[in-house]
Amino acid sequence: MILKLFAVGTATVMRALGARRTTETAPGLRLVVNELGPPDGEPWVLLHGMGSTSISWALVARRLRSNCRLLVPELSMLGGTDWSRDGLNIRDGVEAVARMMRSRLGERPATVAGISLGGWIATRLALARPELVSRLLLVNCAGYRDQDWERIERLVRIDDLEGVAQLQKALFHRTPFPLNLARRGLLAAYRSPSVRQVIDSIRVEDSFDADDLRRLELPVGLIWADGDGMFEPQVARAMRDALPEGRLEIVPECGHGIQWERPRALVEATLRFRSETAL
């Protein structure tokens, strides 16, 4: 029941923003895609993180929708997508997003922005299909190889409310009051097949390292929380140092869940990246 509410709530919020909820189909997959903005607007693709939905990008989408064409897919069943294996892993996510972009944008490359797992998929997409990506914007991005993956797995593989409390310490500098009341919803999301399948399917070769990042010859923005307890700020600095055209903005007084704790800071950082790297 709780998981059903995720999908219903997401659809309600995105439609209130003016999104057209459409689907992209492939064998075993019915991908829900939120489309906003004018068809001839600057193309952007917004990818949410694990255990979340397109709502993560709601305030950013509201600011960009006037002159950008936005594609915001639902990368798990939490947002209404149906997939035969419950959740989109890294490799399947890259393939599904690339197919969606080809179908909706044709030959037009897009700015691809991703939060956490969405940033991981965005990075692997840019490495595999560079012709599809004009700029990358990575928010508290997952996937960098040189870090403590055992600690990260302990945080996200949760089975009880005590695990939720530990996860919230990584997600937030100060947990927003509504999310303190929604601990059981967070537990349901992270125990769902869509999240567990992603965790179980991750392989070393899905990650990326400094040598991979050196191949990304396009503008890359990194937006990182100073208190990110999932992927620590030194990861962001290592990524920036490896990127040929990387820039880093550290957002103070928030944790990994910047889109929930300091959403307006995320909006302003996104707009700065757009203006500083105008195409």
pLDDT tens-place string over residues 110-161: 999 999 999 999 999 999 999 999 999 999 999 999 999 999 999 999 989 8
21-47: buried (b, 16+ CB within 10 Å) or exposed (e) per residue?
Answer: beebeeeebebbbbbbbeeeebbbbbb
CB 201 within 8 A of CB 192: no
Confidence of residue 2 (pLDDT cuts 50, 70, 90): low
For residue 23, give the 3-state DSSP assignment: strand
Q: What is the fold of 2-276?
A: Rossmann fold (3.40.50)
Residue 93 — very low, low, confident or very high, per pLDDT cuts 50/70/90?
very high
pLDDT confidence tier of residue 279, bands split at 50, 70 and 90: confident
Q: Which residue has the tokens 């419950």?
A: 86
Q: Which of 4-13, 33-42, 78-87, 198-207 has the lowest mean pLDDT?
A: 78-87
- pLDDT at residue 134, as a whole number: 98
Locate 212 and state its tokens. 């991979």
Question: Rounded mean pLDDT of 24-29?
Answer: 88
- pLDDT single digits (tens) 159-195: 898 988 898 888 898 887 676 667 888 888 888 888 8
Query: Six-digit token pair at 278?
Result: 């105008």
Nearest 5°: phi and psi at 42? -60, 125
Q: What's the chain's average pLDDT?
A: 92
Q: Which two tokens stand for residue 112?
A: 């691809």
Record the tokens describing residue 166, joined without a space: 């530990």
Query: At 3, is the pLDDT very low, low, confident or very high (cuts 50, 70, 90)?
Result: low
User: What does DSSP assign to residue 144?
Assistant: B
Query: What does the pLDDT read at residue 143?
Result: 97
Per-residue pLDDT, 60 = 98
**pLDDT tens-digit series, residues 207-216:** 999 999 999 9
Residue 100, classed as helix, strand or coil, is helix
Residues 6+ apart with CB under 8 A from 123: 114, 136, 138, 141, 143, 208, 212, 213, 216
Q: The tokens of 104 are what?
A: 């909706």
The predicted structure's pLDDT at residue 235 = 97
Dmax (CA) for the chain in angstroms is: 48
> Which pLDDT does position 30 carry in this prediction?
92
% of residues, the chain, pLDDT over 90: 72
Question: What is the rounded average pLDDT of the residues 60-76?
Answer: 96
| Residue 187 contacts residue 160 (beta carbons within 8 Å) | yes
pLDDT at 85 over 70: no
The pLDDT of residue 244 is above 90? yes
